[in-house]
Amino acid sequence: MKSKLPDIGTTIFTVMSKMAADCGAINLSQGFPDFDCPDRLRELVTEHLNGRKNQYPPMAGILPLREQIAAKVHTLYGAQVCPENEVTVTSGATEAIFDAIQATVGRGDEVILFDPAYDCYDPAIRLAGATPVRLPLTSPAYEIDFEALASAITPRTRMVMINSPHNPCGSILSRDALDKLAATIRGHDIVVLSDEVYEHMVFDGRGHASVLGHDELRDKSFAVFSFGKTYHATGWKLAYCVAPAGFTAEFRKVHQFVTFTSVSFLQYALADYMRECPQHATELSSFYQAKRDRFCELLAPSRFRFTPSAGTYFQLADYSELSDEDDMSFVTRLTREHGVAAIPLSPFFASPQPESRIIRFCFCKEDATLAAATERLCAL
């Protein structure tokens, strides 16, 4: 059979988590917590599961959950969004990103994204028949080069994708960067797809700059968020997209035929939990900042070099003092011989990165896990 994605293999997250399991290594590769979601949230899930919330919920998500999302967006970003027409619940941010791309671009269109880029973006663009145009983030801080962005815009450019806080780099976009983005695309028929799944993991008091808090960008953006990240429940695959009514109408035309709707009792539980416990989300940055600080402190005596992340639950580290191997060979050896799994950076680039000596560690782990892993890393 002719492949539609001939150069795509199995995602690096699956490859590395399987390698970690096969070798019994500590898994700091794929991003998921090794602690559970809140007890009260699990109680609410059980209540709604046993309370007969087991048939199709509405296609766009249950209204009480969309109302909680709209209220939160208003509190955090000052935006008035309509829960009926501007919020859609999806089966993971991966689905929301796929739907937004399929709804917006097709053959002959170009989508600009930045390398390193989270791995589901490029295939979704190509499955839509459009062309990904991949620009490098500038080193060492992984920032957008707005002059390069302006030069890359053509009459065929239909979308620019941004991701802040950034996976895999742990960098964040400032309010000033959003202003520059708005100025760069002003006057063009360009839509923004803003992946903000780590909105609640921004450190050192900087605060998250959402496109929803930016008057100009809000009117031309799909903004994507994930319950999986915020509630320590990545396996639930529940997320949402906030976009202007006209965008949302097109988005839902795709969503209704990709998944139609998402797990019902989890939506009811999340709606209740968001109302009962809004501080869970707002306290998350300090919770994860403590984990980042702990991990960085424990890793400091090692021969890895790093700058602490500004956001997300990932930490990049340069291993060039330890080895001259390419990053895939290094993480394979690290997993098999030293018992710690990590993610190489090269799969996040369009072209091979033979010189890259950077890997990504995930620190959303119990302190004991971080201690055990860094003990091994410091022994290298």
8-state DSSP, 187? T
8-state DSSP, 56? P
Q: With contacts defined by CB under 6 A, how many residues of the chain interact with ligand GLN?
A: 5
8-state DSSP, 111? E
8-state DSSP, 286? H
DSSP E strands, 172-232: 191-195, 221-226
Residue 312 in contact with ligand GLN, rule: CB under 6 A:
no
Which of 61, 83, 92, 347 binds ligand PMP (CB under 6 A)? It is 92
Contacts of 117 (CB under 8 A, 6+ apart): 134, 161, 163, 348, 349
- Residue whose C-alpha is closest to residue 121's, from 112, 372, 226: 112
Query: Considering only residues 143-182, where is the footprint of ligand GLN by CB under 6 A?
Result: 167
Least separation in angstroms between residue 23's CB and ligand PMP is 23
Question: Which residues partner with 136 through β-bridges?
Answer: 115
Region from 91-99, 154-162, 273-281, 319-327 binding ligand PMP, contact rule CB under 6 A: 91-99
Contacts of 174 (CB under 8 A, 6+ apart): 206, 209
Cis peptide bond upstream of 58, omega within 30: no
What DSSP element (H or E) covers 90?
strand 87-90
> How far apart are the C-alpha atoms of 364 and 240, rounded to whole Å?
22
Binding marks (x or -) toward ligand PMP, 170..199, rule CB under 6 A? -------------------------x-x--
Partner interacting with residue 285 (select from ligand GLN, ligand PMP, none; CB below 5-8 Å by kind): none
94 to 61, 65, 234: CA distances (angstroms): 16, 19, 12
Residue 61 in contact with ligand GLN, rule: CB under 6 A:
no
Least separation in angstroms between residue 239's CB and ligand GLN is 12
Least separation in angstroms between residue 31's CB and ligand GLN is 3
Region from 126-134, 150-158, 234-242, 323-331 binding ligand PMP, contact rule CB under 6 A: 234-242
Axis crossing angle, helix 93-104 with helix 245-258, rounded to the nearest 10: 110
Alpha-carbon Rg for the chain in angstroms:
20
Partner interacting with residue 30 (select from ligand PMP, ligand GLN, none; CB below 5-8 Å by kind): ligand GLN
- CB neighbours of residue 74 within 10 Å: 13
Least separation in angstroms between residue 343's CB and ligand GLN is 7
Least separation in angstroms between residue 254's CB and ligand GLN is 20
Question: Which residues partner with 114 through β-bridges?
Answer: 135
Q: State which residue has the least CB distance to ligand PMP.
A: 92
Residue 226 in contact with ligand PMP, rule: CB under 6 A:
yes
Residue 210 in contact with ligand PMP, rule: CB under 6 A:
no
Partner interacting with residue 228 (select from ligand PMP, ligand GLN, none; CB below 5-8 Å by kind): ligand PMP
Residue 349 in contact with ligand GLN, rule: CB under 6 A:
no
- Residue whose C-alpha is closest to residue 130's, from 116, 148, 112, 151: 112
- Residue whose C-alpha is closest to residue 224's, from 202, 194, 253, 247: 194
Least separation in angstroms between residue 234's CB and ligand PMP is 6
As a residue count, the chain comes to 380
Partner interacting with residue 165 (select from ligand PMP, ligand GLN, none; CB below 5-8 Å by kind): none
Least separation in angstroms between residue 132's CB and ligand PMP is 16
Residue 226 in contact with ligand GLN, rule: CB under 6 A:
no
Region from 108-116, 231-239, 334-342, 362-370 binding ligand PMP, contact rule CB under 6 A: 231-239
Cis peptide bond upstream of 347, omega within 30: no
Which of 44, 239, 274, 310 binds ligand PMP (CB under 6 A)? It is 239
Residues that bind ligand GLN (CB under 6 A): 11, 13, 30-31, 167
Residues that bind ligand PMP (CB under 6 A): 31, 92-94, 118, 163, 167, 195, 197, 226, 228, 234, 237, 239
